Amino acid sequence: MNLSLEKLRRLAMLLGWAAILVITVATLSPIEARPHAPMLGADAERFLSYFAASAALAFAYPRGRWLVLAGIIAFAIGLEWLQTWEATRHGLPHDAMVKVAGALSGSCFSVWFDLMTQRFRKPA
């Protein structure tokens, strides 16, 4: 299967927005309804979910990487604040920082991945 760079960006766009949707539902649902990966700790889940969303969306929107990163950071902080409205949840600065670290790492990974795809692409 030969994926063009444009198709790969479209797939990343779909996966990135799906990750944002899953993060929103998981963050704002009551604690007993929140999905989790039993083999990972809460911080690892937070980091990896924001890493995935940021990496996918930053790759999907290469001209708007800074805007994507700023949006995801604002999104993470906003969701932490919204958790204070749910009786079984709590928003903590530590959690927000883990999410921001995941978003920053994912964005950096996206830049590296984009450079590698351009470097090793076969000339048309």
Q: pTM to 2 decimals?
A: 0.89
Asked whether residue 33 carries a pLDDT value surpassing 70, the answer given is yes
**Distance between CA atoms of residues 15 and 35, nearest Å:** 18
Q: Residue 86: its pLDDT value, please? A: 75
Q: Tabulate helix, strand, coil % of the chain (nearest 5).
A: 75, 0, 25
- Of all residues in the chain, the percent with pLDDT exceeding 90 is 63
- Domain layout of the chain by residue ranges: 5-31+43-119
Query: How confident is residue 89, by pLDDT bands cut at 50, 70 and 90?
Result: confident
